[in-house]
Amino acid sequence: VIMTRDMFFSGKGGVGKTTMASATAIHYADEGKKVLIVTTDPASNLGDVFEQEIGHKITPINGVKNLYAMEIEPDAATREYKERIIGPFREMMPGDVIASLEEHFNSPCTTEIASFDRFVDFMETDEYDVVIFDTAPTGHTIRLLELPVDWSKHIEESAKGSGQTCLGPVQAIQESKDKYDRATALLRNPDRTAFVFVMRPEELSLYETVRSMKELVGIGIRSARIIVNGILPKEVCDIEFFRKKYEAQQEIIRQTDEIINGSKRYMLLRDGEVKGTDALREVASYLFYGKQNTFSLKSKIDYEPAFSIERPDIDGLWLPDNGTKRIFITGKGGVGKTTLSCIAALYASQRGFKTLLVTTDPAGHIGQVLDKKVGSEPTNIAEHFDAVMIDQEEAFKQYREKVLNEAKGKYSDDMLAAMEEELNSPCTEEMAAFDRFAQFIESKDYQLVVFDTAPTGHTLRLLDLPFDYAKQVEMMVSTGEGAQKREASQDRFRSLIRMLRDKNRTVFGIVLYPEYTPIVESYRAMLDLKDAGIETQFVVGNMILPEEVCVNDFLKNRRQMQMKYLREIKERFNLPVLEFPLMEAELKGLQRLGVAVEGILNAAMWRD
């Protein structure tokens, strides 16, 4: 039996990890190996890259013998997982017990473990020679890879307690303990499992990759390879604007070589998008054989006729009127939403409004962009401008202490022991982060609160929490005291939801690149928000190539591709669009951000 070779592709959203994972899958399939590529990203774009429908089932890839793909849709995985555990008990247990069991599964961590549960199944199968996991962006990936460690410990400790975990009765999931321990061993075996980090030649991308690799080492996983993707070809950088960008990229490549050991590959930026099996094979030929790393896809790009885009009313959207205003700047990781949220906060603070910038991003980039350390308590950045980062670990500690302190003296020792055990679950960490998040939504200490939300899929889960969390609080306690507490919690969540849905008090904006995949993912995100009763009010098209710097065919092709997608953004979203140009240098520090703020006021930014 040929053992499965598991490969985990990781990287901040937008770095091209799906492309690299897909090219790798095609390479092994063309060698005659039976290959499966799997994703658990809630906003998966695997089907977009292969230009075919995939979905929550193993699907053969058209035109590639031996290659199969699957998008693990979290909701479907959760339903399957719940039924596998609860199903056997349906005939033998009373209805109220089953109802209680099902309520135990109405937790955010059930969704997470259900997706991972499927991962483990594929890791253990002998049906494929190679299994490639196109995982979610880095911060989420780390959570995913920590699951077998955390849950194994959680199951083991819960088994010694009351027999209840956030996943249901321990007896029902005890079988999972061995499975997760086996998964941990597989993840840590470099002969069996490989990790490939995809990054851009940018300082923030390098920082994020190093940070993620350290987190892996912290849980005993040391095998990592690097792909640096999107490198500007030297021969197209004929003017100072792009020479500076080229030199900045080369400096990051030198730093990458110095800081990171192990296998590395370097991929040039193409003049169009890599989509379909032919383009993916071309990428694979360089990745594996070092064949001519061409940057031209030789595809004719039609020039877009002129069109106009509605401009957002920045003052109307970003500046408070009466009371506290909240801005959520969301988007997939790596599209520049952290930078844009910093610009929005600086814009308002420079106009005299007391502003707080909040990050809920597990990757925590705000400190890097501001060039100033941002902690778990509001830190002053400039006049009228504070920033804070929700540190999940710190929030968990504070939340746990708060709940236990409130409970002491009110409940029996048995009840306290049960509460403490429940608070030790990985679910609580997620709830604790939301608890801090909610505090800042409710805050009246600032005139404007700007949220740099986590990458798209995670953001939607976070925004779903008030609804699910209210249910959890309802189940938490059933005493008279608990009923009062439950009522207060439900009132709080109803108020939060009203705030999020009130367009005058809360503004949602989506940041994206004018490229196919970010548009599709952002549109899905907008529809998901709409389903929760939240209307998106503006779009930011980021890193638009200024026409005056596109002096050769390569750059003209890149810009034309962007124009085509700007038109699609206009037609698909039907919202005002802020076109934000590609800047000559990375936006880091208040001085550079200040230049960008001035740019927002500069008519040259707008394409009429």
CA 454 centroid distance within chain = 6
Do 548 and 584 have their domain in common?
Answer: yes
* Size (the chain), residues: 608
Q: Does the pLDDT at position 200 exceed 80? A: yes
Domain termination residue (choose one: 232, 255, 289): 289
What are the tens digits of pLDDT across the range 5-19? 899 888 776 788 889
* 607 domain residue, yes or no: no
| 187-to-4, 37, 38, 453 alpha-carbon distances in Å | 12, 17, 16, 29
| 297-to-242, 273, 276, 304, 490 alpha-carbon distances in Å | 20, 8, 12, 19, 55
What are the tens digits of pLDDT across the range 512-521? 989 877 887 7
* 306 domain residue, yes or no: no
Q: Would you say 20 and 209 are in contact if contact means Cβ atoms under 8 Å apart?
A: no
Q: Which residues pair with 5 in a beta bridge?
A: 130
Do 492 and 573 have their domain in common?
Answer: yes
State mean pLDDT over 232-243.
91
Do 274 and 369 have their domain in common?
Answer: no
Q: What's at 44, amino acid-wise?
A: S
Q: Which residues contact 422 (CB under 8 A, 6 or more apart)?
A: 164, 166, 428, 476
At residue 163's C-alpha, the angle toward residues 185 and 146, to 5°, is: 30
Can you tell me the distance from the alpha carbon of 451 to that of 388, in angstroms, rounded to the nearest whole number? 10
Provide the CB-side half-sphere exposure for 410 (13 A, CA).
Answer: 15
State mean pLDDT over 331-347.
84
Closest CA to 111 of 81, 91, 138: 81
Can you tell me the distance from the alpha carbon of 330 to that of 180, in angstroms, rounded to the nearest whole number? 33
Tokens 């995100």 correspond to: 525
Neighbours of 604 (CB within 10 A): 9
| Burial environment of residue 432 by CB neighbours within 10 A (0 to 12, 13 to 18, 19 or more) | buried
Can you tell me the distance from the alpha carbon of 174 to that of 226, in angstroms, rounded to the nearest whole number? 37
- pLDDT tier, 198 (very low <50, low <70, confident <90, very high otherwise): very high
What are the tens digits of pLDDT across the range 481-491? 455 665 676 67
Give the pair of three-digit tokens for residue 112.
């997470």
Give the pair of three-digit tokens for residue 566.
């700007």
Do 377 and 285 have their domain in common?
Answer: no
Tell me what pLDDT residue 10 has. 82
State mean pLDDT over 413-432.
63
Tally of structural domains, the chain: 2
What are the tens digits of pLDDT across the range 358-368? 986 555 567 77
What are the tens digits of pLDDT across the range 101-158? 665 565 555 666 677 777 788 888 889 999 998 864 333 333 433 444 444 454 454 4
Q: Is pLDDT larger for residue 59 or for residue 531?
A: 59
Can you tell me the distance from the alpha carbon of 212 to that of 16, in angstroms, rounded to the nearest whole number? 17
Give the pair of three-digit tokens for residue 458.
């995670």
Do 516 and 371 have their domain in common?
Answer: yes
* 168 domain residue, yes or no: no
**In angstroms, what is the C-alpha Rg of the chain?**
25
* 23 domain residue, yes or no: yes
Do 338 and 212 have their domain in common?
Answer: no
* 297 domain residue, yes or no: no
Closest CA to 246 of 11, 598, 549: 549
DSSP 99-118: HHHHHHT-SHHHHHHHHHHH
Q: Is pLDDT larger for residue 234 or for residue 301?
A: 234
Do 248 and 318 have their domain in common?
Answer: no
Closest CA to 461 of 159, 41, 56: 41
* 309 domain residue, yes or no: no
Domain assignment of residue 526, given as a range:
314-602
**Maximum Cα interatomic distance, the chain, rounded to a whole number of Å:** 75
Do 225 and 332 have their domain in common?
Answer: no
| Burial environment of residue 269 by CB neighbours within 10 A (0 to 12, 13 to 18, 19 or more) | middle
225-229, 247-251, 520-524: which has the minimum mean pLDDT?
520-524
Q: Does the pLDDT at position 438 exceed 70? A: yes
166-175, 389-398, 543-552: which has the minimum mean pLDDT?
166-175
Can you tell me the distance from the alpha carbon of 338 to that of 355, in angstroms, rounded to the nearest whole number? 15
Do 389 and 269 have their domain in common?
Answer: no
State mean pLDDT over 226-248.
92
State mean pLDDT over 338-352.
92
Q: E-assigned strands of 303-392?
A: 325-330, 355-359, 379-382, 385-389
Can you tell me the distance from the alpha carbon of 144 to that of 420, in angstroms, rounded to the nearest whole number? 24
Q: Does the pLDDT at position 169 exceed 50? A: no
Q: Would you say 135 and 43 are in contact if contact means Cβ atoms under 8 Å apart?
A: no
Give the pair of three-digit tokens for residue 321.
């009127």
Rounded mean pLDDT of the chain?
Answer: 78
Do 269 and 399 have their domain in common?
Answer: no
Do 334 and 481 have their domain in common?
Answer: yes
Tell me what pLDDT residue 147 has. 44
* 299 domain residue, yes or no: no
Q: In what order do the strands lie in the sheet with 448-452?
A: 379-382, 385-389, 355-359, 448-452, 325-330, 506-512, 538-544, 577-581
Do 269 and 349 have their domain in common?
Answer: no
Q: Would you say 177 and 156 are in contact if contact means Cβ atoms under 8 Å apart?
A: yes
Q: Does the pLDDT at position 204 exceed 90? A: no
Q: Does the pLDDT at position 354 exceed 50? A: yes
* 376 domain residue, yes or no: yes
Can you tell me the distance from the alpha carbon of 270 to that of 53, in angstroms, rounded to the nearest whole number? 25
Phi and psi at residue 397, in whole multiples of 5°? -60, -50
Domain at 350, CATH number: 3.40.50.300
Tell me what pLDDT residue 420 has. 67
pTM above 0.85, yes or no: no
